Copies of this chain bind each other. A is one copy, B any other.
Amino acid sequence: MGTTSDLRGYGGANAYLAACPSRTILDVLANKWTMLVIGALGDGPLRFGELRRRLDGITQKMLTQTLRALERDGLVSRTVYPTIPPRVDYAPTELGRNVSGLLDSIRIWSEDNINTVLASRYAYDERAAMEVPPVTAG
């Protein structure tokens, strides 16, 4: 790094420091909807409605919010066609495609390992239920 031009480049980012800006983008990425939106978007472009249909359970508010944050951070581009009715396309930017593989891998891992996790949860909860049950009679 060293000679970052005029952009006040932040050198030696370290997410383990609370004040490090990298935490702010980590916050955006480390989010359920971000993971799913980026994955659903694929190579895009995709319209708002189509995106919504692919994301079971997302509300219009959350989708808008997530897309805005991604657009602001330069991970997703937004194209408005001034037609009636309006049409808005979303597509990953180069930066977005850059990170989408990483995010996808987390989602896919979740899908691949959910059974192991469920088994662990079950065992954990059983054990917890066994010891020191809430103070009742007996």
Contact = CB atoms under 8 A, between A and B. Distances in A.
Nearest to A118: B21
A132 interface: no
Which of A9, A31, A32, A110 is most buried by chain B, counting CB atoms within 10 A of its CB?
A110
| Oligomer: number of copies | 2
A62 interface: no
Contacts of A121: 72-74
B18 A106 contact: no
Given A72-B120, A115-B10, A34 B25 contact: no
B74 A26 contact: no
Contacts of A57: 18
Contacts of A109: 29, 98-99, 102
A116 to B, nearest CB: 6
B30 A15 contact: no
Contact of A56 (B17, B74, B95): B17
A136 interface: no
Contacts of A9: 115
A15 B111 contact: yes
A130 interface: no
A54 interface: yes
Interface string A56-93: 11000000000000011110000000000000000000
